[in-house]
Structure 1
Amino acid sequence: MSLKDHAYCVEMSGEKSVSGSKRVAPPTTPNKPQVQSKKKNRTEEDKETEDGDSTLIKILNAVTNLSDRFDMQENKLESLATKMEEQHSMLTELKKEVAENKSKTTLLESELVKVREELLATKEKCKEQERYKRRWNLRLKGVSEKDNEDIKGTVTAILNKIAPGVPWSFQDMVDTVHRIGKKDALHTRQVIIQFVKRECRDLIWKLSKNCDVCKKNGLRFAEDLIQEDREARRLLWPKVKEAWEKNKRAYFRGPFAFIENTQIFP
């Protein structure tokens, strides 16, 4: 008996048997799933889950950090707002102080103007008092200077020659006599004469202008003026001199000058 006679012998791929009839292939069992594939799929899913969780954690951390930053910025803004309020209050106080100081400054300026006016008035009064005091004085130029001189005796002798026969003694009418400034070998210092009576001084001043004694001895009397008046006369002198050269009547009166009874200015 051959293999073909057995029932369990089948032809593969649907080939016909020798007898010519087709044999039906026995049913095959379904394939079982492979265990390794399942494990692989689970591993990938777990990995994806872990990646997702990691991403979420990172996002949460980023959100947390961003929230912390916002909180820090908010705190800084609150601190800045507090400082701005403090600065605003300080500026308000400063504005008040500036306004008060401005009003005080205005008041002080007005008082300063008054003080300046009073100072100028006081200076002018002092000048007038000095001018008035010097009306009793005369300056004498050209008296030779000697060591250990008796300048008062020399001056009273000159005055007696200029105004002989006056009803008073110049020794009594002259209060003080002294030279002006430091001694200088190259220059003769002027002499200040202070009279007791104004009328005695005015008489000598009048007589000395055309006195032969003064001309012969090179003596010249002058008013004892303050510095401001001397400077004013110095500026006016060229015009007065020009008027004299033209035979016009010109003269000084204190710090002022007149030509033909009209006051002139520098």
Structure 2
Amino acid sequence: MNSKKKGNDGRKRRNSNVQNSSSDEKPGKQNWAHNVIKVSTLVSNVENVTKRVGEMEHSLEILGAKYEAGRKEDADMKTDISDIRSYNEEIGGNVKRLTTDLNDLRERHLDLQTRSMRENLIFSGIQESSDNEESEETGEILKQFMTKELKLSNPIEFVRAHRFGRADKKPRPIVCRFKTFNDRELVRKNANVLKGTNYGISEQFPKEVNDRRKVLWPYFKEAKEQHKKAHFKREKLYIDGKDFIPHDRNKHNMQTDNNPANTRYERQGARPKYFPRRGPQKKNKVRNSE
């Protein structure tokens, strides 16, 4: 009996050991499978990160190339801007020189116009013989005017005389060109006998000179009222022998130019008959357009 019990007990212990060992094997297999899943997930994540890092490196390379291209383009733009600035400065200098030359040519042309009118006088207030008065009739009327109104024993010879301007209620003025400047001055200086009449005698000047004289006329009258010596030389006003420079009339500030050269010209009765020679001109740089 005892031997049978021992045999049964041994079988029971073996069965329980087998059951315990099988129950221990199941959790181990589950942990291994779980670890395999984790490792595969980690590998997948590493691959994704590696792929993204590669994409980022490629993007950085593209950005670097664009940055270098932008730097080169910026340097080229700065060079172009510097060239344009230099070119504009050169153009500005050329425009300034051209403006100076144009003003100089305008003054020379004005001087030539004034000199071409040097022997001319304008007679105003002389009645017209008819609406279609011919230049020959105008010449005869002017000769009669010289003897009757200017009290000249013999009329001064002249080259030609004609009327100008639009026909109006007032008679058109007569412009007369004398043979010499002295003949013209003889007639002009004799015009004081016309005071108190409707007749007038004046020098002929271009429009630009007349406009400048009109600006100076109030100062001329003011100087006369102050019993100063004042007279015109073409477009210039001289007061007490000095070239007058107009300023603000409200301040009654009448200044004169103390330049000895202008005073010398005034004494000579004429402006200088020469123009200063210009120095050699610098050749302008030609900008190559590439």
* TM-score calculated relative to the size of structure 2: 0.66
Give, in whole Å, the separation in 1 of the partners of 2:111 and 2:243: 20
Question: In the alignment, is residue 203 of structure 1 matched against residue 183 of structure 2?
Answer: no
Aligned pairs (5 A) from 1:229-244:
229-244=209-224
Equivalent of residue 223 in structure 1, options 173, 194, 203: 203
- Aligned residue for 1:211, secondary structure, equals helix
Per the TM alignment, residue 251 of structure 1 is displaced from its structure 2 partner at its CA by 1.5
Q: Which amino acid aligns with 1:153?
A: E
Partner of 1:63: 46
Partner of 1:149: 133
Per the TM alignment, residue 25 of structure 1 is displaced from its structure 2 partner at its CA by 10
Deviations 1:211-243 (A, max 9, x none): 34x754x11122222333323322322232133
Question: In the alignment, is residue 179 of structure 1 matched against residue 168 of structure 2?
Answer: no
* Higher relative contact order, structure no. (Cα contacts within 8 Å, ≥ 6 residues apart): 1
Per the TM alignment, residue 129 of structure 1 is displaced from its structure 2 partner at its CA by 1.0
Equivalent of residue 68 in structure 2, options 77, 85, 99: 85
| Alpha carbons 1:159, 1:204 under 8 Å: kept | no
CA distance 1:193–1:168, change in 2 (3 Å): closer
Greater Rg by CA: 1
Question: In the alignment, is residue 261 of structure 1 matched against residue 244 of structure 2?
Answer: no
Aligned pairs (5 A) from 1:104-115:
104-115=87-98
Per the TM alignment, residue 61 of structure 1 is displaced from its structure 2 partner at its CA by 1.7
- Aligned residue for 1:33, secondary structure, equals helix
| Alpha carbons 1:131, 1:226 under 8 Å: kept | yes
Per the TM alignment, residue 128 of structure 1 is displaced from its structure 2 partner at its CA by 1.0
Give, in whole Å, the separation in 1 of the partners of 2:235 and 2:121: 16
Q: Which amino acid aligns with 1:121?
A: D
- Aligned residue for 1:135, secondary structure, equals coil
CA distance 1:117–1:127, change in 2 (3 Å): same
Aligned length: 237
Equivalent of residue 142 in structure 2, options 143, 158, 180: 158
**CA root-mean-square deviation:** 3.4
- Aligned residue for 1:139, secondary structure, equals strand
CA distance 1:38–1:225, change in 2 (3 Å): farther
CA distance 1:141–1:168, change in 2 (3 Å): closer
Greater mean alpha carbon deviation, residues 142-151 or residues 31-40: 31-40
Segments of 5+ residues of structure 1 without an aligned counterpart are 1-7, 11-23
Greater mean alpha carbon deviation, residues 24-33 or residues 64-73: 24-33
| Alpha carbons 1:162, 1:211 under 8 Å: kept | no
Deviations 1:123-147 (A, max 9, x none): 2211211211222322233245653
Give, in whole Å, the separation in 1 of the partners of 2:156 and 2:122: 21
| Alpha carbons 1:139, 1:222 under 8 Å: kept | yes
Deviations 1:158-207 (A, max 9, x none): 3443254447644xx22x52323x45x56665443344543333332222
Give, in whole Å, the separation in 1 of the partners of 2:140 and 2:18: 156
CA distance 1:123–1:39, change in 2 (3 Å): farther
Q: Which amino acid aligns with 1:178?
A: R
Give, in whole Å, the separation in 1 of the partners of 2:180 and 2:236: 25
Percent identity for Structure 1 against Structure 2: 20
